[in-house]
Chain A
Amino acid sequence: MDLTLRVWRQPGPTVPGRFVDYPAQDISADASFLEMLDVVNERLSARGEEPIAFSHDCREGICGSCAMMIDGVAHGPVRGAATCQVHMRVFADGSTITVEPWRSAAFPVIKDLVTERSALDRIIQAGGFITAPTGGARDANEILVAKDAAEAAMDAAACIGCGACVAACPNGSASLFTAAKIAHLGALPQGQPERSRRVLRMVAQMDEERFGHCTLFGECQEACPKLISIDVIARMNRDFLRACTSPPASAW
C-alpha cells in the first residue's frame, strides 16, 4: 500500500507543534498501524532524521500505552480495538491518514504523539483501591461473590487506562475511566466499606485534574478499546449522590 501520513510533530511540551506530511510507501496490508509507523520511523532514522515519537509497549491491546487520534477518531476506525490492534488493511490504498496525540487539557503533549497521562494515576491514588495491606487476608473462599457480581466487576475492571475516553469526549471528561474503577470495586463485597469515601475522593480528584464534566454524550464508550459501557457512569453518579446525602462520619 502507498499512503500519506499527516502527523503532528511537536518537539517538546512548550514548543508549538504542526502537521508534517510523510510518504508511507510499500506498506504491507497485514502490518499493524504501529508497525507501519515503525517502517516510516526506520526510514527517517536511516536518513538521520528524528523518528516520530509515540507511546507503545505490549502491542496486543492490554497495556494501554498506545494512544493516537487517527483521522479524528481515538484509536482509529476499528471498534473495540486499541491503536496497536488496528491493521493497515482497513485503510484504502492511496489514502491520507491524519495522526494526532490525545487532545485534552489534562493530557499535555510531551512530544509528537506522546502525552502525559499521570492524572489518571492520581485519580486512582485518591481512592481507586481496596485497603487490604499484605498479610491479613482470610481464606479466599470465605468471601462469596455472586457470579453475576464478579462478571460485572470484571466488565468494568477491563479498563486499560489508555485515556481514549477522555480524548473522545467533547468535554474532556475522565468519567468513564473513573467510573469503571468505582464500578469494579463497588460491585464486590470487599469494596463496600470504602464505597462512599472512594467515590467522593476520586470525583474530587478528577475535578482537580482539570477534566471536564460528563454530559452523557456517550462518545467515550464508542472509543473505548474494551467497550466499557457508560452504565458505569450512572453507577458512579448514584454512588456520588448517596455519599453526598449521607456522608459517613469517618469519610473525611
Chain B
Amino acid sequence: MLTLQSRVPPGPLEDKWERHKFDMRLVNPANKRKYTVIVVGTGLAGASAAATLSELGYRVVCITYHDSPRRAHSIAAQGGINAAKNYQNDGDSIFRLFYDTIKGGDFRAREANVYRLAQVSVNIIDQCVAQGVPFAREYGGLLANRSFGGAQVSRTFYARGQTGQQLLLGAYQALERQIGRGAVEIHPHTEMLDLVVIDGRARGIVTRHLLTGQVQSHVGDAVVLATGGYGNVFFLSTNARNSNATAIWRAYKRGAAFANPCFTQIHPTCIPVSGDYQSKLTLMSESLRNDGRVWVPRQGGDARPPNEIPDAERDYYLERKYPSFGNLAPRDIASRAAKQVCDEGRGVGPTGLGVYLDFRDAIERLGTRVIAERYGNLFEMYQRITDEDPYRVPMRIYPAVHYTMGGLWVDYNLMSTIPGLHVIGEANFSDHGANRLGASALMQGLADGYFILPYTMGDYLASARPPAVDATAPEFRCAEAEVADRTRRLLAIRGTRTIDSFHRELGAIMWDKCGMARTDGGLREALAAVTALRAEFWRDVMVPGAGEGLNQALEKAGRVADFLELAALICRDALTRTESCGCHFREESQTADGEALRDDERFSYVSAWEYAGPDAPAHLNAEPLDFETVHPSQRSYK
C-alpha cells in the first residue's frame, strides 16, 4: 500500500510557494554539471524544462519520438494562455484565477498546486515575451487580451489562432540554443519503452530507436516525463495521431501511481466523424457558440435539408434546457446534451452523430461581413474539411475527446510515487481536477517546465544524492531484455486483424460506455469487452515488417497494447467513483433535472491507482482533498 504524501508546505496559501522555494535545498553550481536529468517529451512542459534545467547547469538528456522537438502536439493548441496579469484592469487577480480553476475543476484539485499555478502564470508571459513570442498587441504596443471559456475577465493572451505553436517554438528555440551549445543531448526518433528503478529510485529509461530498432539504456540521476495525455485511448480524438500513453503506462507498471484516470475531457464543438476511414477529429473553436444556435429536428429521421425545416419543427435544445446560459452552457453540459439528442435518434448528418450549429439568425442580425470578421478562418477550415459552406448551411458539430485531466500522481514537487521520477504537463494529474478550463493547458505546461520543476529538481538531487550507477546494472539489462522480447512477441503473432481494427474497436467501446455518460452496468460491460479484446489482440494482431529499421506499424502496435491495458484502468476508476463531477457523469448520480450530482462526503479525494501485477486488479489509494480556502458549491446553469 502506498503512502500518498502530497508534501504541501504549511502556512497561508499565498506564502506556501515562496516559503517552499526558500526551504528547498540547493545544488552548488559546480555540482550541477555532475547530475544528469533525463527529460522525455519535448512539448511545452518538456522543452521548457529541458532548456531551463540546462541553463541552470544540469546535464540534460532529452528524448523525443518525433524527428524534431518542434513537432510535439502542444503545437496544435489554438486559443490562448491564461495569466493573472490584470492588464485589462477588469478585476482579475491571482486569487480569481485560482478560484476559477478550482471551481472549473469541480472541486477535485489540490488548492496549493492551483494557487501556485496562478502565481507563476504572470512570470510565464514575461518569459515568453522576452523570448520573442509574437503575442497579439494593441495599437499602443501593449499586449492584447481576450476572454475565453466563459471567464468573466479578459486574461487570455494569444497569438492569432496559433498560440500553442508560438509558445512551443519559444521553448523549442530555447532548447535548440542549449543543444547548439552542447549542453543538451537530444535523441530524436527515440521512444521510451521502459522506466528503470534501482533501489527504489528512478535511474533511467530504456528506449527503442525508431529508425534502427536499437534498444538502448539511458542512465540519469532523475527522470522527467513530459509525454502528454492519453486521449487516443478513444481512437478518435483531437490529439495528434502519435500521441500515446506508453511512457506513463510503463512508469505506472514500475510503481508510479496513476491518478484520476477517468477524468477525460470531451469538447463539444468538433467536426463530426464522416466515415470509417476517419483518423482524427478536428476541433472548432468554442467561440462559435457565441453566435451560433445549436439545434436538431424535433422528429427523429427527418431527412429534409436543414434550411427546409421550419423553426417550429426544430429543437433548440440548449436554449430549451438551459434558458439562462443557452448555447453558452459549459463544455461538459453541452457535450452531454448533444449525445442525448443523438441517442434519441435525432442526430443529423450521414452518421446521425451530429447536431447543427446554425448561423442563420446571426447572419440575418449582423450581416455576413461581421460574421466573416469574427469567424472567417474557422468557416474556411470547416469548409475545407467538409466541403459545405457554413454561411449557407448550418455547421454540423459533435463532441470529441480532447484532453485528459488524469495522469500520473505527483506531489507538490511534481514528483511521482517513485522517488526521482517527476511528471509534468498533461502527463500528470495535478491542477485541473475533473474539468479543465480553456487556455489553462498551455499555462500549466509552461508553469511546470519553466518555473516549478527546475526548483524542485534541485531539492530532490541535493537531498537524495543518487549514487553512481551505469547501464550494466542488472535492472537496465533486464529492462532491455523485456523491451526486446516484447517487440519480438508483437512481430511473431502474425495474426489476421490489423492494429487499427483493434484500436478502432477499443475506441468504440470506450466512447459508448466510458464517454460522456457512464453507468455501472455499462462500465462493467466495457471492462469485460476491453479484457476480451486485449486477449484477442495478443492472439490475432498482424504486425507486418521487422524489428530493425523504421516500422511504424510496430510502433503503433506497442502503443495500442498499452491503451488496451489503460482502458481497463479508466473503466475501473469510473466504476468506483459513483458520483458525478466535472467531465465524469455517472447516470446514477444526477439531480432531479438531470444535472451532475457531486458527492463531497464520499468522493472528495484523488484516486491514485497502484499497479499490482499483470493478473491482479490495481489497488486504489485515496488522497483526501481539503478545501481550506474555497468552499465547494453546486454548479447550476439553468
Q: Are B277's CB and A31's CB within 8 A?
A: yes
Bound Cα distance from A59 to B73, whole angstroms: 10
Bound Cα distance from A173 to B69, whole angstroms: 22
Within 8 A of B (CB), among A1-41: 11-12, 27-32, 34-36, 38-39
Q: Are A34's CB and B279's CB within 8 A?
A: yes
Measured CB to CB, the closest approach of chain B to A186, in angstroms, equals 10
Bound Cα distance from A46 to B495, whole angstroms: 9
Flag whether B278 is at the interface (Cβ < 8 A): yes
Flag whether B416 is at the interface (Cβ < 8 A): no
Question: Chain B, 121-159, contact with A by CB distance < 8 Å: what is the 0/1 string?
Answer: 001011111111011111111110000000000000001
Flag whether B98 is at the interface (Cβ < 8 A): no
Give the residues in chain A near B275, CB-CB below 8 Å: 28, 30-31
Question: Chain A, 238-250, contact with B by CB distance < 8 Å: what is the 0/1 string?
Answer: 0000000000000
Which of A31, A58, A138 has the most chain B CB atoms inside 10 A of its CB? A58
Measured CB to CB, the closest approach of chain B to A118, in angstroms, equals 7
Q: Are B125's CB and A140's CB within 8 A?
A: yes
Q: Are A140's CB and B542's CB within 8 A?
A: no
Within 8 A of A (CB), among B269-283: 274-275, 277-280, 282
- Interface residue total, chain B, C-beta cutoff 8 A: 80
Give the residues in chain B near A32, CB-CB below 8 Å: 279, 385
Flag whether A96 is at the interface (Cβ < 8 A): no
Flag whether A157 is at the interface (Cβ < 8 A): yes
Flag whether B166 is at the interface (Cβ < 8 A): yes
Question: Chain B, 535-566, contact with A by CB distance < 8 Å: what is the 0/1 string?
Answer: 00000001011000111110000000000000
- The segment from A69-77, A129-137, A215-223 found at the interface with B is A129-137
Flag whether A225 is at the interface (Cβ < 8 A): no
Flag whether B68 is at the interface (Cβ < 8 A): yes
Q: Are A38's CB and B240's CB within 8 A?
A: no
Question: Chain B, 107-133, contact with A by CB distance < 8 Å: what is the 0/1 string?
Answer: 000000000000000010111111110
Measured CB to CB, the closest approach of chain A to B435, in angstroms, equals 24
Given the known interface contacts A87-B387, A153-B134, the answer about A141 and B143 at a Cβ–Cβ threshold of 8 Å is yes
Q: Are B71's CB and A45's CB within 8 A?
A: no
Q: Are B173's CB and A58's CB within 8 A?
A: no
Measured CB to CB, the closest approach of chain A to B167, in angstroms, equals 11
Flag whether A251 is at the interface (Cβ < 8 A): no
Flag whether A63 is at the interface (Cβ < 8 A): yes
Flag whether B374 is at the interface (Cβ < 8 A): no
Question: Chain B, 182-196, contact with A by CB distance < 8 Å: what is the 0/1 string?
Answer: 000000100000000
For A131, give the chain B residue with the smallest CB separation.
B177
Q: Are B127's CB and A134's CB within 8 A?
A: yes
Measured CB to CB, the closest approach of chain B to A115, in angstroms, equals 9
Q: Are A87's CB and B550's CB within 8 A?
A: no
Give the residues in chain A near B280, CB-CB below 8 Å: 59-60
Q: Are B131's CB and A154's CB within 8 A?
A: no
Flag whether B583 is at the interface (Cβ < 8 A): no
Given the known interface contacts A65-B71, A125-B179, A132-B174, the answer about A57 and B130 at a Cβ–Cβ threshold of 8 Å is no
Flag whether A64 is at the interface (Cβ < 8 A): yes
Task: Give the contact-size bracket for chain A.
Answer: 35 or more
Flag whether B402 is at the interface (Cβ < 8 A): no
Flag whether A236 is at the interface (Cβ < 8 A): no
Which of A12, A116, A137 has the most chain B CB atoms inside 10 A of its CB? A137
Q: Are A49's CB and B544's CB within 8 A?
A: yes
Q: Are A140's CB and B134's CB within 8 A?
A: no
Flag whether B19 is at the interface (Cβ < 8 A): no
Flag whether B165 is at the interface (Cβ < 8 A): yes
Bound Cα distance from A126 to B553, whole angstroms: 35
For A130, give the chain B residue with the smallest CB separation.
B132
Q: Are B132's CB and A45's CB within 8 A?
A: no
Which of B52, B173, B385, B553 has the most chain A CB atoms inside 10 A of its CB? B173
Q: Are B451's CB and A134's CB within 8 A?
A: yes
Given the known interface contacts A30-B274, A60-B282, the answer about A118 and B68 at a Cβ–Cβ threshold of 8 Å is yes
Q: Are A116's CB and B542's CB within 8 A?
A: no
For A52, give the chain B residue with the smallest CB separation.
B552
Q: Are B134's CB and A87's CB within 8 A?
A: no
Q: Are A89's CB and B387's CB within 8 A?
A: yes
Within 8 A of B (CB), among A127-185: 128-141, 143-147, 150, 153-154, 157-158, 160-161, 184-185
Bound Cα distance from A34 to B385, whole angstroms: 13
Measured CB to CB, the closest approach of chain B to A75, in angstroms, equals 13
Q: Are B70's CB and A137's CB within 8 A?
A: no
Measured CB to CB, the closest approach of chain A to B616, in angstroms, equals 34
Q: Are A51's CB and B132's CB within 8 A?
A: no
For A29, give the chain B residue with the smallest CB separation.
B387
Give the residues in chain A near B551, CB-CB below 8 Å: 50
B67, B386, B544: which contacts A117 (Cβ < 8 A)? B67
For B159, give the chain A residue with the smallest CB separation.
A154
Bound Cα distance from A27 to B450, whole angstroms: 46
Q: Are B544's CB and A147's CB within 8 A?
A: no
For A116, give the chain B residue with the smallest CB separation.
B67
Question: Chain A, 74-109, contact with B by CB distance < 8 Å: what is the 0/1 string?
Answer: 000010010001010100000000000000000000
Q: Are A111's CB and B240's CB within 8 A?
A: no
Give the residues in chain A near B484, CB-CB below 8 Å: none
Bound Cα distance from A191 to B126, whole angstroms: 15
A62, A78, A130, A146: which contacts B131 (Cβ < 8 A)? A130
A11, A27, A59, A122: which contacts B240 (Cβ < 8 A)? A59
Flag whether B180 is at the interface (Cβ < 8 A): yes
Flag whether B587 is at the interface (Cβ < 8 A): no
B67, B241, B498: which contacts A45 (Cβ < 8 A)? B498
Q: Are B384's CB and A121's CB within 8 A?
A: no
Flag whether B102 is at the interface (Cβ < 8 A): no
Bound Cα distance from A89 to B139, whole angstroms: 42
Within 8 A of A (CB), among B75-132: 75-76, 85, 87, 123, 125-132
Bound Cα distance from A49 to B553, whole angstroms: 11
Bound Cα distance from A117 to B139, whole angstroms: 38
A30, A57, A87, A133: which contacts B66 (Cβ < 8 A)? A57
What are 7 inter-chain pairs, A to B, with CB distance below 8 A?
A: A11-B549, A32-B385, A45-B499, A59-B279, A63-B240, A132-B174, A190-B131
* Residues of chain B at the chain A interface (Cβ within 8 Å): 48, 51-52, 55, 66-71, 73, 75-76, 85, 87, 123, 125-132, 134-143, 159-160, 162, 165-166, 169, 172-174, 176-177, 179-180, 188, 211, 240-242, 274-275, 277-280, 282, 384-387, 450-451, 454, 494, 496, 498-501, 542, 544-545, 549-553
* Residues of chain A at the chain B interface (Cβ within 8 Å): 11-12, 27-32, 34-36, 38-39, 42, 44-46, 48-51, 53, 55-60, 62-65, 78, 81, 85, 87, 89, 110-111, 114, 116-118, 120-122, 124-126, 128-141, 143-147, 150, 153-154, 157-158, 160-161, 184-185, 187-188, 190-191
- The 3 A-B pairs of least Cβ separation, nearest first, read A144-B141, A125-B180, A129-B173
Known: A45-B553, A118-B67; 15 extra A-B contacts, CB below 8 A, are A28-B277, A46-B496, A53-B552, A58-B241, A59-B240, A60-B76, A62-B162, A124-B173, A125-B179, A130-B132, A134-B454, A135-B127, A153-B134, A154-B159, A185-B132
